[in-house]
Structure 1
Amino acid sequence: MSAAVLILYTGGTIGMTPTDQGLTPTPGLHGRIEQQFGASLAELPSFDLLELEPLIDSANITPAHWQRLAALLAEHWDNYQGFVILHGTDTMAYSAGALAFMLGACARNVLFTGAQIPLGLPGSDAADNLRNALLLAAGPRLPDVCLVFNNQLLRGSRIRKVSSKRFAAFDSPNEAPLGELGAAARLHHERLLSADSASRAPQLAAQLNFEPGAVALLTLHPCMPAALYDALLADNHCRAIVLLSYGAGNIPSRDQAFNAFLRRARARSKVLVNVSQCLDGGVSPGTYAASAALQEQGVLSGGDMTPEAAFCKLHWLIAGGRDQQALRDDWAQLYCGERSSD
């Protein structure tokens, strides 16, 4: 083991530099890290850095990138104590969620981090985020795939990006942080995945077959165009749909087109999952009469899961080769602390 930690640099703001077209991911991050930290770098765990080619803005992330990350982890799994994945903030919640399902209670520390301002620019948050991530990655085992950001440790399957400007860019709305970092770091070990949680090897995760377009997100809003329903129903590649409903899980129950959509989706063997548009809380099936049609048509409850986690869980279940019935049967299982227990 030549170093304690392997940094996987995918792109994202943390490693961007200014250009005439705006900030863009730029190779050569190792040198910029050395320049930023200077002599204090010796106080941090040793690390190697691997840059993905090509580097990408995280707005261009697809499930294929999740599989590539798993393959890179599998390739280097036995050579490092921990891993830090540098990722853009825009789709961090999706990638961290996907890896959380793929790895479960992983045997190595896997931490995502990034920044709101690029490393080396005035007022950047990048150095603090990277420092905290390196220290944790080389420390005692953390069984969760986690996010390190703004002096907090958050579960990867619970995070949402809540600000495009503030350093507190992420939150886990329905779960307390797993740790507070910085000078007086404190980890809440009782909140981490339990010792009996399943660990999934990255070698197996790398063999999953993610299907492009297999899952869709449908945000409910007043007077929805019926063409949206028709497009989703006609797409044979789309096998599951996450409904972002109102409040505690309510739908436009008097909208005949929407009710017909629910019936047609069930007839076409598409799995539907209901989550709330609200940042805090979740869906409560049966609380309101306006949600009754969801239970009648077999729509699954996402509880207090985030839309990102529901999207990633469905993708992961489908990538494992499950048919519709197995997908429905396995949905209720908890795999990585993705929702509160019933």
Structure 2
Amino acid sequence: MVSSNGVYVPGPDFSARLARHLGQRRSELPQFDVVELDQLIDSANLTPANWTTMARVLAKNWDHYDGFVVLHGTDTMAFTASAISYMLNGCNKPVILTGSQIPLEQSRTDALDNVITSLILASSSEIAEVCLYFRGNLLRGNRARKLKTSELDAFDSPNAPRLGQGGIDLDLRHDLLLAPGKPDFQIPTFNPRSVAALTLYPGMPAALVEATLALPELKGLIIHSYGAGNAPDADTSLVRVLAQGIGRGIAVLNVSQCLQGRVAQKAYASGAALDRIGVVPGADLTPEAAFAKLHFLLAKGLSGNSLRQALQTPLSGDSKLASVKGND
């Protein structure tokens, strides 16, 4: 980003600006090339089509580099990290997403440290997955979330341990890193209207859910539920319209509004009501990973039981298989 008329906007020619800021330090870093996309956007304007564009650039250059750094705005970086982790099936090299809270051109920028460390991580033969690096924390891409708006340590993975720490030394958790795979990339064309998301709130009208489920081209709905996957089962109208949507073939995926923990739909009666009508429990998927995963599986053509099973199967380390009781 660069400043323009008092606000930040995407700025072109990043390669020259980065070279100027790196100065003599560039000789101490792995050799790298900068590929700048034709259309630069504020990440708040991201759509699933941008996931396809980025993944295709990575796939096109896969055999020519030891690793990759994807520079991305922070607002939707966790969505992209998840989506790319699914598309780069069989990843055998590091792909590190990073960005900054303060733009590169500002005097107190955190961009340079994030980019320099990400370049070093991207040259590591020990990493073979899609990660997000930010302010000293190396996170699995599909487990990462932006948790802070103004602090520099904006990202963490509340439901999974960090994969590494960048302090004086770069310490990797080799016991947690995914093993290298055999590249079998699957980069579909996404329909941005195929998935919607709703956050449950007290007194939510069934008509809102019904209207969402009636959207043309909708194939999947994510509900952000209470606690361990609970919903207002006393609102029989709301439960009924969800059941009707599922009956029409729309997949409904349940993730918790809580930062930590997992969905356990059978733990409480209010969650069991969702289980009975066929809502898919989202385990400990982050909302960002759930959104990207549902989009990805639908774009691959999955539906019905095959889609339901795939949503509940860990993919690229995005969740854990476990059965636990939930607590209020």
Q: TM-score, normalised by structure 1?
A: 0.91
Residue of 89, 92, 99 corresponding to 1:114: 99
Q: Name structure 1 gaps, 5 residues minimum.
A: 1-15
Can you list the C-alpha shifts for 1:97-127, whole angstroms capped at 9, x where unaligned?
A: 0001111341222110000001131211101
The residue number in structure 1 matching 2:265 is: 285
SS at match of 1:273: strand
SS in 2 for 1:48: coil
| Alignment-derived partner of residue 55 in structure 1 | 40
CA RMSD for the aligned pairs?
A: 1.4
Write the mapping of 1:151-300 to structure 2, written as runs, cut at 5 A: 151-194=136-179, 199-202=182-185, 205-206=186-187, 208-300=188-280
Alignment partner, residue 50 of structure 2 = 65
1:274–1:301 CA contact under 8 A, matched in 2: yes
Contact 1:103 1:199 in 2 (8 A): no
Q: Secondary structure at the match of 1:231?
A: helix
Partners of 2:90 and 2:99 in 1: CA distance: 22
Matches for 1:26-41 after TM superposition, within 5 Å: 26-41=11-26
Residue 141 (structure 1) shift: 3.9
1:301 corresponds in structure 2 to 281
1:82–1:108 CA contact under 8 A, matched in 2: yes
Secondary structure of 1:341's counterpart equals coil
> What number of residue pairs does the alignment pair up?
322
The alignment status of 1:128 with 2:108, answered yes or no, reads no
The one-letter amino acid paired with 1:309 is A
Amino acid at match of 1:166: E
- Is residue 104–residue 145 contact of structure 1 (8 Å, CA) maintained in 2? no
2:292 is paired with a residue whose SS is helix
Cα distance in 2 between the residues matched to 1:130 and 1:201 = 28
3-state DSSP class of the match of 1:51? coil
User: Does 228-237 or 133-142 show the bigger shift?
Assistant: 228-237
Question: Deviations along 1:288-329, whole A, 9 cap, x unmatched?
Answer: 111111110011111111111111111111111112232113
C-alpha distance in 2 between matches for 1:108 and 1:83: 8
Distance in 2, Cα, partners of 1:201 & 1:291: 37
1:92 maps to 2:89: no
Distance (whole Å) between structure 2 residues aligned to residue 162 and residue 218 of structure 1: 19
One-letter amino acid of the counterpart of residue 68, structure 1? T
SS at match of 2:36: strand
User: Which string of whole-angstrom CA distances, capped at 9 and with x for unpartnered residues, describes residues 211-231 of structure 1?
Assistant: 221111110001113332222
Question: How far apart in 2 are the matches of 1:222 and 1:21?
Answer: 39
User: Is the 2:67–2:123 Cα contact (8 Å) retained in structure 1?
Assistant: yes
Cα shift at 1:161: 0.6
Stretches of structure 2 that go unaligned for 5 or more consecutive residues are 323-328
CA positional deviation for 1:199: 4.2
Distance in structure 1 (CA, Å) of the matches to 2:150 and 2:275: 39
Counterpart amino acid of 1:160?
A: R
8 Å Cα contact 1:102-1:200 kept in structure 2: no
What code does the residue aligned with 2:184 have?
A: A
Q: Which runs of 4+ in 1 moved over 2 A?
A: 198-202
CA distance in 1, matches of 2:310, 2:260: 25
Alignment TM-score, normalising by the size of structure 2: 0.95
Question: Alignment partner of 1:50: what SS?
Answer: coil
Give matches, 1:309-324, under 5 Å: 309-324=289-304
Contact 1:89 1:115 in 2 (8 A): yes
What amino acid does structure 2 have at the position aligned with 1:127?
L
- Aligned identity (percent) is 43
